[in-house]
Amino acid sequence: MAPSENSGIDFVVYLQFDIIMRIMSLLNDPLDVVRASAVSRAWHHFVINNSLLKNLCIKNAPAISTFDSIIVQEDGALTVIDYRSEHPLSFEVLKKDHIMYSYLLQALSRSSIAPKDILECVLGASSTQSYPEESIVNVLLPCRRFLWGDSYWSSRGCRVSNVPEKILFKLCGDVSIVTDIQIRPAQRLDHHVYSAISVRFRMGHSKSYRDLRPNIVQSLPLGEIDENNYVWSYTSPVFPMLEEASLQTFSLPEPVLCIGGYLEVELLDKAQKDSVNGLYYTCLGHVRIWGHSLMPAFDVQMGESGSISLKYRPDAAEYALDYLLYDGDESDDEGIPDLSASQDRPMLLVQIENLIKLRMFP
């Protein structure tokens, strides 16, 4: 039945599906998609039934596509949205899915506001020259020097400069948004700065559910990184690094949704050779990772078979979004670290305290 001359034409009702999807796909702003879902009942059902917000979220954060299912925890009940199911999902289930992706997109859009240091702990380095003096845990400390000596990590020496070094970090929570990484190369006693020539970053999750939340902070020294244990869903461009002992900021082109909470720093090529032994080293003084943790609203659950699910708590989502706007008292002061200010990062506290004990009471 054709519309009357006096009525408006709702193209969602009268146009072919492929044409409507092509038009709707031009909406790149999450708010526009939300507004579209409020135009009419037909638009509301079209947006939700065709997962337009989910598609936009995957476009902005490809790591979302790694999930096999969504687990919604609401009012003491669990709703599992299984993307692998052969059965079509009901409208009510798709609506829960729609709301969850709207929160994720809002978090991504607000992530540049008041970012916080979300580094939870360091898990290992590809090599270490001298332990515990040059332990990788030193990069958690903002201080350049303590009573027991300089504070920095050093790789093992190499005869050639093009051997990369890798450092693996765990972020706060299993779902985080990363905006910037700060790195300070270290200056050694010979007054040379042992920086890398360039750096890039990878983010992802572990392959095993047993390694999803590592509990290794009380066992030092930390082991070397086994690349086979991780799946990297994001790799950054290569950034040039200055040969300066200053805190250098590497801003990602877009905020990155890190699913799994692992971030690897890959230091490419070594800039400085030791004048005594003729070997190349990379040395870092301090690392900070900026962004937002989305816990407790979002979490990751991994099955023994390797399946990965996103856990979502609607009751905590509003709080998580409000906390994105909270400007904490993060300080760039490079004095003695205030460990009490890191009480929400217990793994970081344990690592720093253990290292200090090793250095002060060998």
Residue 199: CATH number of its domain: 2.60.120.260
Statement to judge: residues 121 and 55 lie in one domain:
no
Statement to judge: residues 155 and 250 lie in one domain:
yes
Statement to judge: residues 101 and 130 lie in one domain:
no
Statement to judge: residues 170 and 76 lie in one domain:
no
How far apart, in Å, are the Cα atoms of 286 and each of 136, 143, 216, 218, 227? Answer: 10, 8, 21, 21, 23
The pLDDT, as a whole number, for residue 357 is: 60
On whether residue 76 sits in a domain, the answer given is yes
Statement to judge: residues 90 and 230 lie in one domain:
no
On whether residue 123 sits in a domain, the answer given is yes
The pLDDT, as a whole number, for residue 147 is: 58
The pLDDT, as a whole number, for residue 183 is: 97
On whether residue 301 sits in a domain, the answer given is no
Statement to judge: residues 159 and 225 lie in one domain:
yes
The pLDDT, as a whole number, for residue 173 is: 87
Among candidate residues 76, 110, 144, the one where a domain is terminated: 110
The pLDDT, as a whole number, for residue 333 is: 46
Statement to judge: residues 53 and 174 lie in one domain:
no
Sign of CA dihedral 26, 298, 204, 264: positive
On whether residue 324 sits in a domain, the answer given is no
Which candidate, 83, 100, 88, places its Cα nearest to that of 49? Answer: 88
**How many domains is the chain partitioned into structurally?**
2
The pLDDT, as a whole number, for residue 315 is: 86
Statement to judge: residues 136 and 272 lie in one domain:
yes
The pLDDT, as a whole number, for residue 257 is: 94
Residue with tokens 């992706």: 101
> What per-residue string of b and e applies to 12-45 under the rule 16 or more CB within 10 Å gives b?
beeeeeeebeeebeebeebeebbebbeeeeebbe
The pLDDT, as a whole number, for residue 133 is: 85
Among candidate residues 79, 110, 141, the one where a domain is terminated: 110
Statement to judge: residues 15 and 69 lie in one domain:
yes
On whether residue 238 sits in a domain, the answer given is yes
On whether residue 323 sits in a domain, the answer given is no
Statement to judge: residues 203 and 76 lie in one domain:
no
Residue 67 domain boundaries:
11-110
β-pairing, 69-74 with 308-312? parallel
The pLDDT, as a whole number, for residue 358 is: 59
The pLDDT, as a whole number, for residue 209 is: 59
Statement to judge: residues 250 and 170 lie in one domain:
yes
On whether residue 334 sits in a domain, the answer given is no
On whether residue 143 sits in a domain, the answer given is yes
Which pTM value belongs to this model? Answer: 0.84
Among candidate residues 65, 85, 110, the one where a domain is terminated: 110
Contact at 8 Å (CB) between 116 and 95?
no
Statement to judge: residues 152 and 39 lie in one domain:
no
Residue segments in the chain with a per-residue pLDDT below the cut of 70: 1-8, 145-149, 209-223, 325-362
